[in-house]
Amino acid sequence: MYKTAEDIRQLNERISQAGQFTDKLRQEVGHVIVGQSHMLDRLLIGLLSNGHVLLEGVPGLAKTLTIKSLSQAIHAKFSRIQFTPDLLPADVIGTMIYQQQKGDFVVRKGPIFANFILADEINRAPAKVQSALLEAMQERQVTIGDSTYKLDEPFLVLATQNPLEQEGTYPLPEAQVDRFIMKVVVGYPKMHEEQLIIRQNVQGMASQPVKQVVSIQEVTNAKDLTRQIYMDEKIEQYILDIVFATRTPEKYQLERLKPLISYGGSPRASISLALAAKAQAFLNKRGFVIPEDIRSIAKDVLRHRIGLTYEAEAENVSVEDVVEDVLKQINVP
């Protein structure tokens, strides 16, 4: 949809006003979480673009605390589901139970009926449970018995994976991983940040409550505004070039990548890049997308959507290296 310079200027003003709430959220969550600003920004992008986020990191990096603090700052309903090998789909979505007084079956809703879902160690649950959760993520509805229930908005699933333990885990199939808008690798805090974390925990400051600073309505309005952010045709072409270069690298003078990639990004990769780039522009309080927005989120959006061959593993080439090469090769508009 074509927009005039005046339209974009007005949109810019609306976004710079509406975008104030992201500063409030960062500040409030920052009272409890030290560092991890990259993870928090990626959660906000997931929230604004109506997507879900997969987090990978070793235990103890405040993944659970961050999403819990974010939900408290928005005063949204939070559920944590600990995935285990013996979990059943009914434990996630709910089930019908027989009530003797009524002599009838009633619906007992599961923990999926919340705004923020933390699916802890999702790769520990068997395929049936994973698919029940992913159906809810995709359709935003749940079927129990004969009835279908819509899930409340906002609805954000944050799934975590522990990269260390392989025993007793069920890796997520590619088709399911593709449903996450981003896969974020959470790193260790810096030394001065960890010093602050020690002090906070020793003095008992880490457990202070997070106050509500934003309403759910503000988040919903921000999501609608994010969709309206202007994306030029050249930017769309840039996204397409990046994704197509992962499928047919030889057409982009990237012949050396051909034997390293077993499959490239799906059409969901293009959609996710566009949506996440708009959310990134919103976080920067801008009414239009620039190439830098795409470059900054490209690794998180593509990390789980590109398959590598055994040859790549033998040469110690990671998906990040492939994305880096693609970004260097594609001309920036």
Domain assignment of residue 9, yes or no: no
Question: What is residue 318's three-state secondary structure?
Answer: coil
Q: Cα–Cα distance between 14 and 3 in angstroms, integer? A: 15
- Residues 6 or more apart whose Cβ sits within 8 Å of residue 330: 238, 241, 242, 245, 252
The answer on pLDDT for 123 being more than 70 is yes
Q: Cα–Cα distance between 318 and 260 in angstroms, integer? A: 10
Same domain, 46 and 113: yes
- Please say which residue of 189, 219, 249 terminates a domain: 219
E strand or H helix that includes residue 106 = strand 104-109
What is the DSSP annotation of 18-40? HTHHHHHHHHHHHTT--S-HHHH
The answer on pLDDT for 1 being more than 80 is no
Domain assignment of residue 190, yes or no: yes
Note the pLDDT tens digit of each residue in 268-294.
999 999 999 999 999 988 888 999 999
Q: How far apart are the first and last CA of the chain?
A: 19
Q: What is the arithmetic mean of pLDDT over 26-34? A: 79
Nearest to 115 by CA among 132, 140, 135: 140
Same domain, 103 and 183: yes
Q: Cα–Cα distance between 214 and 223 in angstroms, integer? A: 14
What per-residue string of b and e applies to 305-324 under the rule 16 or more CB within 10 Å gives b? bbebeeebeeeebebeebbe
Q: What is the arithmetic mean of pLDDT over 216-242? A: 89
> What torsion, rounded to 10 degrees, do the Cα atoms 261, 263, 266, 272 define?
-40
Domain assignment of residue 116, yes or no: yes
Same domain, 205 and 239: no
Q: What is the arithmetic mean of pLDDT over 24-33? A: 80
Please work out, in degrees rounded to the nearest 5, the angle formed at the alpha carbon of residue 318 by the alpha carbons of 55 and 257.
135
Beta bridge partners of 54: 159, 183
Which DSSP category does 331 fall into? P
Note the pLDDT tens digit of each residue in 162-178.
776 565 666 777 777 88
Strands 141-144 and 147-150, bridge-based pairing? antiparallel
| Confidence (pTM) | 0.86
Domain range for residue 145?
Answer: 20-219
In terms of DSSP H, where are the helices of the chain? 5-18, 20-30, 37-48, 63-74, 89-93, 127-139, 174-177, 191-202, 216-228, 233-247, 267-283, 291-302, 310-314, 319-329
Same domain, 320 and 205: no
Strands 307-308 and 261-263, bridge-based pairing? antiparallel
Q: How many domains does the chain have?
A: 2
Per the CB < 8 A criterion, the answer to whether 260 and 202 are in contact is: no
Domain assignment of residue 296, yes or no: yes
Domain assignment of residue 57, yes or no: yes
The sign of the dihedral angle between the CA atoms of 270, 274, 280, 281 is positive
**What pLDDT sits at residue 45?**
92
Note the pLDDT tens digit of each residue in 171-206.
777 777 888 999 988 878 788 878 887 877 777 665
Same domain, 209 and 268: no
CATH of the domain at 286: 1.10.8.80
Note the pLDDT tens digit of each residue in 253-264.
888 888 888 888
- Please say which residue of 219, 248, 265 terminates a domain: 219
CATH of the domain at 151: 3.40.50.300
